[in-house]
A = this chain, B = another copy of it.
């Protein structure tokens, strides 16, 4: 049920799907970095760590896909995280052109913190959103992501 949609206090809700997406991304990212101020992480660093938080070892290319960025964008960011001791880059024995990204113990802690804050924001925001609406959200986002490859 979208009761807020007809509330005049939301008169500036953007018309298009992509515009709404961009606004929500900016807004949540700002809240996220504010709540994680103690960790001293930028928005993109939070995005990267939260993706790695599942413990799955990834190559740079895979991480680029997961975050929606390019490997070249990640290089300096990964340099920074590595120099802070949050992750390591190891040559993939199976393909020595590729690096395997692994969180260190402090990195896992920071990634966990990022995911926890994300989860908390989602829980707060989506309290009155139904499972069906949430499924609809994922369907739309998945379709947009797939169409943009």
A: residues with CB less than 8 A from B are 1-2, 4-5, 10, 12-32, 47, 50-51, 54, 62, 65-69, 115, 118-119, 121-122, 124-126, 128-149
Contacts and interface: CB of A to CB of B under 8 A. Distances in A.
A133 to B, nearest CB: 3
Among A1, A19, A27, A141, max chain B CB count under 10 A is at A141
Contact of A137 (B118, B137, B148, B149): B137
B65 A122 contact: no
Contacts of A21: 21, 24-25, 28, 141
Among A16, A22, A67, A118, max chain B CB count under 10 A is at A22
**Main SS of the interface on chain A?**
helix
B54 A15 contact: yes
Q: How many copies does the complex hold?
A: 2
Contacts of A124: 147
A12 B65 contact: yes
A15 to B, nearest CB: 7
A36 to B, nearest CB: 12
Contact of A129 (B14, B19, B31, B140): B140
14 contacts: A13-B138, A14-B51, A16-B119, A20-B137, A21-B28, A22-B47, A24-B148, A30-B68, A30-B148, A125-B146, A126-B144, A129-B139, A133-B140, A137-B141
